[in-house]
């Protein structure tokens, strides 16, 4: 199950803007204590508490269910190299995340909804599964009939932004996956080693 409770409280509990909009950044600046009557009195967390918080942070940032999170970890373990980096690389390559970092959506949550409603094609085929993992050579395109939607009305005002592993063309409404994301391209707000430790207990 995905989280559907109060988002501001969750951001305050984990101490980070999990949902990407300025609203939650302002709330964190204004109210830095944990939520609840005893929020200001919380002391140091145990190692397990830190590991759990980091796992939860990754879940909420990327919009994953517990089962999806565990499955991603198992995939990361089965791959060669650093498990933590493998895990973050899997998160980055989710279709909804690619739509988000390519600037088609303001938040990952919005990107997930866009994909779920079938706004994009992957290699010429319409897709509606946000968790699909993209590969080098994949081409994503906004379906032309959706280009007139207010959701995409400001794209022509944005500057093309492409991490090194993507080629984004906001005029043609396309994204091409050039390579796998490098370490510098991975989400900086998440300590993947703590997540590895959580699942390795």
pLDDT at 161: 73
Q: Is the pLDDT score of 43 beyond 70? A: no
Average pLDDT over every residue of 146-164: 86
Q: Is the pLDDT score of 41 beyond 90? A: no
- Quick one: how far is CA 64 from the chain centroid? 9
For the stretch 64-113, pLDDT in tens is: 999 999 999 999 999 999 999 999 999 999 999 999 999 999 999 999 99
- Say what the pTM is: 0.81
Q: How far apart are CA 147 and CA 101, in angstroms?
A: 18
Q: Which domains does the chain have, with CATH numbers?
A: 94-179 (3.10.290.10)
For the stretch 101-153, pLDDT in tens is: 999 999 999 999 999 999 999 999 999 999 999 999 999 999 999 999 999 98
Coil, strand or helix: which one is 122?
strand
Query: Angle 61-158-105 (CA atoms, 0-180°, nearest 5)?
Result: 30
Cβ-contact 160, 175 below 8 angstroms? no
pLDDT at 153: 86
Percent of the chain with pLDDT over 90: 68
pLDDT at 6: 56
pLDDT at 158: 83
């Amino acid at each position: 199950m995905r989280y559907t409770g109060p988002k501001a409280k969750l951001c305050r509990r984990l101490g980070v803007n999990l949902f990407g909009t300025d609203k939650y950044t302002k709330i964190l600046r204004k109210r830095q204590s944990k939520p609840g009557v005893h929020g200001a009195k919380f002391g140091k967390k145990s190692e397990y508490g830190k590991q759990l918080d980091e796992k939860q942070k990754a879940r909420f940032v990327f919009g994953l269910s517990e089962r999806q999170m565990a499955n991603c970890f198992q995939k990361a373990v089965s791959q060669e190299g650093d498990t933590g980096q493998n895990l973050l690389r899997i998160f980055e390559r989710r279709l909804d995340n690619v739509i988000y970092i390519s600037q088609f959506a303001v938040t990952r949550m919005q990107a997930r909804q866009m994909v779920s409603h079938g706004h994009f094609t992957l290699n010429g085929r319409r897709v509606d599964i946000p968790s699909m993992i993209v590969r080098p050579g994949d081409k994503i395109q906004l379906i032309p009939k959706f280009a007139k939607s207010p959701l995409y009305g400001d794209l022509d005002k944005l500057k093309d932004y492409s991490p090194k592993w993507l080629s984004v063309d906001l005029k043609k409404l396309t994204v091409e996956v050039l390579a796998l994301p490098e370490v510098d391209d991975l989400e900086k707000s998440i300590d993947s080693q703590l997540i590895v430790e959580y699942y390795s207990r």
